[in-house]
Amino acid sequence: MVSKKTKKSKQSVSKVQETKESFWNLVALFKNKKEYVVFCLMMLGVLSLLSGVGLIIAAHWAVIPAFVRVLGGLSVLGISLGITGRLRLTGWNKSSEVALFCSYLLIGGNIALIQQAYNLDISWRDGCLLWSVLGFPLALWATFPLVRWCTVVLLGLGLWSYILEVNHLVVAGLLFLCFVGTLPLTETYWERTRSILFWIMWAVLFIGDFASEQEVALILDGAVFIISLIGLSEGRQLLFYNLLFIFAGIRVVMLFWHAHNLNDVGIRLIVCGTILLALGGLYYKFFEKLQSFLRKWIAHE
């Protein structure tokens, strides 16, 4: 008697779980032949309803006050993010990844909407940078590389165009090449926590390139690029080289930021040279220790 009850309760629990899962997993619902007609009807209904609402909004778009438009966009983003979170917590990673990408697109849409509603003069490069910054938390959450790549490309485009604006086309082109060269590296080494540091440093280095002493930063960028390529061909631990050079690059850019004359540049060059030599010496001395540490670190990842 007891066992029958337990069986029944187990069955009911599994049924509840099934319905829950099938509710959130549309593909599973579609595959279930019994639910096929219901699913088709529901989907058609939802699609026609959404298109209807969309058309009505489009027809009266100009009449709708700016605040209501923005609020509408924000609500859609909120719903999309809510669905993304719900799907992920329910365990439907593939579906949540699609929802995540939709949310990512909606962030861009919201930026454009706010720009239009409040007549802001946001250039496309500022838009790219803003989008990449606002979408960064989603990139951290993503399992598939699509959203991360979008963030990387938007950030790169935004920063590159900033560099282009300072009228150094060759420098900008080479910098972008450096940037493109490190994309595969980022993809290979992308790990949620450590990559934040990696990307912050990259961003600082690129922003540092706006300084007048771009050539120095360019040399470092070039070095990072070449070493990255060597790293790709040889093995995985070369991320360390990248970090080392980026650190050095940031230091150099910071030092050169306020140089006004040749004397200033000379002093800064001496300081930079000393720092680089010290880094090189440390690296030479602790090479084996660092290598073993790095191997352990990568194995842990």
Partner 1 sequence: MNKKKNYSTYLLLAPFLAIAMWVCYFTIFMEGSTEVRLPISGYDPRNLLSGHYVAYRIDWDKADCSQADWKGTCPIRTFKTSGRFYVPENSARAIERAINRSDVRTEIVFSYRKGKTAIARDLLIDGESFRTFE
Q: What is the binding site for partner 1 (CB under 8 A)?
A: 61-62, 67, 70-71, 74, 77-78, 81, 84-85, 88-89, 103, 107, 110-112, 114-121, 124, 134-135, 137-138, 140-141
Nearer to partner 1, 135 or 156 (CB): 135
- Do residues 87 and 24 lie in contact, with contact meaning Cβ atoms separated by under 8 Å? yes
For residue 55, the one-letter residue type is: L
Query: Closest approach of Cβ 78 to partner 1, in Å?
Result: 6
Nearer to partner 1, 39 or 136 (CB): 136
Query: Closest approach of Cβ 118 to partner 1, in Å?
Result: 5
Nearer to partner 1, 96 or 214 (CB): 96
- Do residues 156 and 179 lie in contact, with contact meaning Cβ atoms separated by under 8 Å? yes
Query: Closest approach of Cβ 155 to partner 1, in Å?
Result: 15
- Do residues 17 and 9 lie in contact, with contact meaning Cβ atoms separated by under 8 Å? no
- Do residues 227 and 238 lie in contact, with contact meaning Cβ atoms separated by under 8 Å? yes
Query: Closest approach of Cβ 165 to partner 1, in Å?
Result: 16
For the chain, the straight-line distance linking the first and the last C-alpha, in angstroms and rounded, comes to: 51
263: exposed, middle or buried (C-beta count within 10 Å: 0-12, 13-18, 19+)? Answer: exposed
Query: Closest approach of Cβ 201 to partner 1, in Å?
Result: 21
Nearer to partner 1, 115 or 237 (CB): 115
Spatial CB neighbours of 38, under 8 Å, sequence gap ≥ 6: none
Nearer to partner 1, 103 or 228 (CB): 103
